[in-house]
Structure 1
Amino acid sequence: MQYTETEKRKLVNRLKRIRGQVEAMQAALDEDARCTALLQQATACRGALDGFIGTVIEHHIRRHLADPKQAAADRAQAAEELIGVVHSYLT
């Protein structure tokens, strides 16, 4: 199941903000910013990306795992896909 236009727009806007954060981090590096400033920006980027990932995981769970209209085999496949992605993210 695809994202609604509203969901997609929110995700795209979040990615644009993340891109802006990464570009600001690159500019700070080019300007020889302090290590602590770079680390703060990097952790902000990481937090924003983690929020994006969390939203996509939530969508996957709601649309493919928790939806009783989905066949059991489809839910099982969706669960295995999610397990693989989460495992690769955490390791």
Structure 2
Amino acid sequence: MQYSKELMNRLKRLEGQVRGVIRMIEEEKHCKEVVSQLSAVRSATDRAIGYIVAKNLESCILEAKEEGRDAEDAIQEAVNMMIKSR
């Protein structure tokens, strides 16, 4: 699977969020602010995981159809990846 520029941009924003949290900790910001930002990082990470799994699933389903195979295994694998990421 080839990763898109959109995914790379998402991950770079996520990287910036993590750096922001580190800076907040270094500046001894209130724990509520830090936890709030960490929650945002977690949400962004979950969205990135969902994006990767969805794009991979799309690719696997198209490949299975082209080869005349059932896509059920690819779908089950995607579901398992989503469950493990939680």
1:1-91 equivalences in 2 (<5 Å): 2-3=1-2, 8-65=4-61, 67=62, 68-72=65-69, 75-90=71-86
Q: Relative to 1, partners in 2 of residues 1:70 and 1:28: Cα closer, same or farther, differing over 3 Å?
A: farther
Q: Which has the higher contact order (CA 8 A, sep 6+)?
A: 2
Percent identity over the alignment is 24
CA contact (8 A) 1:64 1:70 kept: no
TM-score, normalized by length of structure 2? 0.80
Q: Relative to 1, partners in 2 of residues 1:58 and 1:24: Cα closer, same or farther, differing over 3 Å?
A: same
CA contact (8 A) 1:21 1:41 kept: yes
Residue 71 (structure 1) shift: 4.0
CA contact (8 A) 1:64 1:78 kept: yes
CA contact (8 A) 2:18 2:41 kept: yes
Rounded Cα–Cα distance in structure 1 between residues aligned with 2:41 and 2:5: 19
Gaps of 5+ in 2: none
- Return structure 1 stretches of 4+ with deviation > 6 angstroms: none
Q: Which amino acid aligns with 2:66?
A: K
Gaps of 5+ in 1: none
